[in-house]
Amino acid sequence: MSLTDLGAGVVKLLPPEAAHTATIKALKLGLGVPLNAPPANPVLEVVLPKSGLKLPSPVGLAAGFDKNCDVPNAMAKFGFGFVECGTVTPKPQPGNPKPRLFRLSEDKAVINRMGFNNFGLDYFVRRLKMYQGAVPVGANVGANKESTDRIADYVTGLEAVAPHADYVTINISSPNTPGLRGLQDRASLEALLTACGAADRAGKPVFLKVAPDLDDQAIADIVGVVRGPGAWLSGLIVSNTTLARPDSLRSADKGKMGGLSGAPLFGPSTEVLAAFARALKGEFDLIGAGGIASAADAYAKIRAGANAVQLYSAMVYEGPGLAEAINRGLPALLKADGFKTLADAVGADL
């Protein structure tokens, strides 16, 4: 057993949020961090069509793991093709009362109601300026819980992080800030994207992160706005956590309030991803997130229309080596289906 494995085992004995805090502190100290990132496989290199982002691997780290941009340099060495930090809000905020993070071990899932706990934009931007990793870094922005003008919060966040990030994500889909998902409604989304589009002077790629809990009409409305006032966007990240509770859940904490992520989210989030892919017909970049825990999962997202993918919750159970394991497994899956490049497989199941 390596020191990294031993450390991971000890961390799992801690309560979930304490384990996460300990992990971030260890990574900041360089504990368990590889000296160098694993070599990239040319077959997995991808250029996102609209944004032009060049990724050495399609496997990215989702927002939520590194809320304050404390360890992007460390995470870039674990085989991720891109890392996304945040969600950050203009003002620091403590988030929701504890406990607010729950492991559903029997279901390989997590429920969180963190509530955008973070140190605020000033701290985040200072850390972002220090990033020297070899892969693109993204900044995920949100609104303060007590804000009286949430659209203004997104504009402030976008203007602050865009000069220093490779891309920005507008997160309107967290279920843990009351009323936030209302920004996905057509009129609100039009106002938000119009304001953010006018503020996007840095010219960096910008993505919109949406929820999995969308019906056909909601998807159609978002597509309409993205093609209209949001046409300046690079693409969508599909999806955030879900408020649904599948009957298959077995864990004792399955009834906790918050957003569910991990294995149970894979199916629903992939269906919503495919719906957006069919509607948008390659006009925008799509990043698939939700329930990815293996190369087969990542490949299914790609075949459902994702140009790239993101993961986070599965690392709770599989460890930080998961990205590299997926990178090792993807080329064989592509070859078995006769694809020479990853881009050839995008949307194959549509």
- 2 carries an active-site annotation: no
Amino acid at 170: I
Q: What Å distances lie between residue 184 and 103, 217, 298, 340, CA to CA?
A: 28, 12, 26, 37
The Cα 337–Cα 235 span in angstroms is 27
CA angle 333–335–341, rounded 5-degree value: 100
The Cα 58–Cα 29 span in angstroms is 27
The Cα 207–Cα 138 span in angstroms is 10
DSSP conformation class of 310: E
Given the residues 173, 174, 239, 261, the one annotated as active site: 174
Sign of the dihedral through C-alpha 118, 85, 75, 9: positive
Whether the ω angle into residue 239 lies within 30 degrees of 0, i.e. cis, is: yes
Sign of the dihedral through C-alpha 46, 278, 339, 344: negative
CB-based contact 143:177 (threshold 8 Å): yes
Tokens encoding 40: 């990239």
Q: What Å distances lie between residue 300 and 248, 269, 305, 342, 343, CA to CA?
A: 21, 11, 9, 12, 13
The Cα 170–Cα 89 span in angstroms is 11
The Cα 39–Cα 339 span in angstroms is 21
State the angle between helix axes of 266-280 and 216-227 in degrees (0 to 180), rounded to the nearest 10.
40
Tokens encoding 184: 């996905």
Tokens encoding 128: 């972002």
Catalytic site residues? Answer: 174
